[in-house]
Each structure stands twice: as structure tokens, then as C-alpha cells.
């Protein structure tokens, strides 16, 4: 036996004895302590300032920001948006880990088709879509067409969001059934967001 073959054969069994690395970290995003203050405090001091407005928007997440933008586009400026965190955005906020920009929530923005003119208009307003030489160009750093997902399940990483290893046959059958229903609905009608962009097909009206 050659020396390198002997070393490889004698060290390989030891690899399985190593203790797996523990994942360290913490949750980021929502400040639970602030929410608990609102929940636990029974009395509050009298307000030092009183302000009146026509519309109150509770929360500065995607829905709240979209509501504020819709009001502004309709010429309604007398509204107030209330947000518990230091910055608005909710699950669409971004941050940085070791100097590398990354999202703080699960939000993905694919290239919007002509079925999504509202998204196109929003990206144009934000400066992420502009016409160059007669063609639309998008700022690709803010788009994510096909995200690569991983799931930590039963002490190991798996590709995708559905665990395939360590689950029973019944769970795998449910995956296949759900996938079949999605494909069946996709072939029966064209699905767009928002759905008001085109008339509803019979299969879509049945879900309303």
C-alpha cells in the first residue's frame, strides 16, 4: 500500500467524529421590547403635543408604504404613517453583514412584466427603471429573479425551502400533490399581480 493511500484510509474514519459546528447568531428586525412596552404599560403620561390628520396608517411595512404612496398619488397629503421601528420598510428592509449588503426579510423582486404596470411605475419613480436608447433598463442590484434558498433542518442545511431529507413519505406525497395543484391552476389561467389587470378566468372567479 502506498503511503498516501494509507494516510487517507486511516484519517477518513476520524472525520465523522468531529463535532459539528454550532450556528451562532441572533434575530434581527422587529424590536420586541418596544412592542412589549405598549402591551405591558397600563398608563401613559398625557401627550405634550396633539396632532390631527385625516388618515392614520399603522405600520411602515410594504403595505403601509404602499398605502402612503397611493394617497400621495391621489393628491391626499394629510396623512400620518406610524412605525414602531427606527426605519420603515418592514420585511423589505436591508442591512449588511460583515460589510456585505443583504436583505433582512424574505422579499424578492423579479423583473416586472407588462402585466405589472404598477410595479414598473414604482421602480421608475425610485430611479431603478429608466429608458436608454429606446429600451427599458433596470438596476439589477435591486432585482432578485431566482433566489437560492437553504433551510436548516434537523442539524443540516438543505437546498430549497421544503425539507426533503428527514421527512416521511406522507409529507413528500403532500409536496407532490401541492405542486400538481399549482401546475393545474397555472395551466388553467394566467395569474398576475394585481389580479385587477385582466378579467378573471372561471377558475379564478371560483376562488373569490
Q: pLDDT per residue over 99-145, tens digit each? A: 887 777 766 778 888 888 888 999 999 999 999 998 999 988 777 76
Strands 100-103, 94-97: pairing kind: antiparallel
Number of domains forming the structure of the chain: 1
Whether the per-residue pLDDT at 197 is higher than 70: the answer is no
pLDDT band for position 78 (cuts 50, 70, 90): very high
pLDDT band for position 13 (cuts 50, 70, 90): low
Which pLDDT belongs to residue 56?
A: 96
Listed range (3-7, 91-95, 111-115) with the worst mean pLDDT: 3-7
Which pLDDT belongs to residue 14?
A: 52
> Span 139-165, mean pLDDT?
81
More confident residue, 80 or 200: 80
Residue 71: inside a domain: yes
* 3-state SS assignment for residue 24: coil
Q: Tell me the C-alpha distance between 85 and 81, whole Å.
A: 12
CB atoms within 10 A of CB 72: 11
More confident residue, 29 or 155: 155
Residue 64: inside a domain: yes
CB atoms within 10 A of CB 74: 8
Residue 83: inside a domain: yes
Grid cell digits, residue 96: 449588511
DSSP label of 91: G
Evaluate whether 145 touches 179 at the Cβ level (below 8 Å).
no
Residue 28: inside a domain: no
Residue 191: inside a domain: no
Residue 120: inside a domain: no
> Span 60-84, mean pLDDT?
93
Which pLDDT belongs to residue 49?
A: 92
Burial 57-66 (b: 16+ CB within 10 A, else e): bebbbbebbe
Residue 204: inside a domain: no
Domain range for 72 is 54-92+99-106
Residue 32: inside a domain: no
Which pLDDT belongs to residue 157?
A: 87
As a whole number of Å, the CA-based R_g of the chain is 25
Closest-CA residue to 80 (of 50, 60, 59, 53) = 53
Evaluate whether 24 touches 40 at the Cβ level (below 8 Å).
no
Whether the per-residue pLDDT at 12 is higher than 70: the answer is no
> Span 168-177, mean pLDDT?
94
Which pLDDT belongs to residue 176?
A: 95
> Span 23-50, mean pLDDT?
78
Which pLDDT belongs to residue 140?
A: 82
Which pLDDT belongs to residue 3?
A: 58
Which pLDDT belongs to residue 142?
A: 78
Amino acid at each position: 500500500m502506498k503511503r498516501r493511500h494509507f494516510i487517507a484510509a486511516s484519517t477518513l474514519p476520524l472525520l465523522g467524529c468531529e463535532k459539528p459546528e454550532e450556528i451562532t447568531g441572533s434575530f434581527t428586525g422587529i424590536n420586541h421590547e418596544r412592542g412589549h412596552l405598549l402591551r405591558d404599560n397600563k398608563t401613559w403620561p398625557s401627550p405634550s403635543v396633539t396632532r390631527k390628520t385625516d388618515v392614520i396608517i399603522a405600520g411602515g411595512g410594504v403595505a403601509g408604504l404602499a398605502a402612503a404612496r397611493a394617497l400621495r398619488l391621489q393628491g391626499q397629503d394629510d396623512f400620518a404613517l406610524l412605525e414602531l421601528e427606527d426605519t420603515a420598510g418592514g420585511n423589505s428592509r436591508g442591512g449588511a453583514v460583515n460589510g456585505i449588503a443583504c436583505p433582512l426579510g424574505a422579499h424578492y423582486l423579479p423583473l416586472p412584466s407588462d402585466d405589472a404596470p404598477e410595479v414598473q411605475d414604482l421602480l421608475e419613480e425610485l430611479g431603478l427603471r429608466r429608458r436608454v436608447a429606446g429600451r427599458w433598463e433596470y438596476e439589477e442590484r435591486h432585482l432578485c429573479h431566482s433566489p437560492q434558498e437553504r433551510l436548516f433542518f434537523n442539524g443540516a442545511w438543505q437546498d430549497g425551502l421544503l425539507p426533503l431529507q428527514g421527512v416521511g413519505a406522507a409529507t413528500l406525497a403532500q409536496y407532490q400533490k401541492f405542486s400538481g395543484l399549482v401546475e393545474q391552476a397555472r395551466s388553467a389561467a394566467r395569474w398576475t399581480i394585481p389580479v385587477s389587470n385582466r378579467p378573471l378566468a372561471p377558475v379564478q372567479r371560483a376562488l373569490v
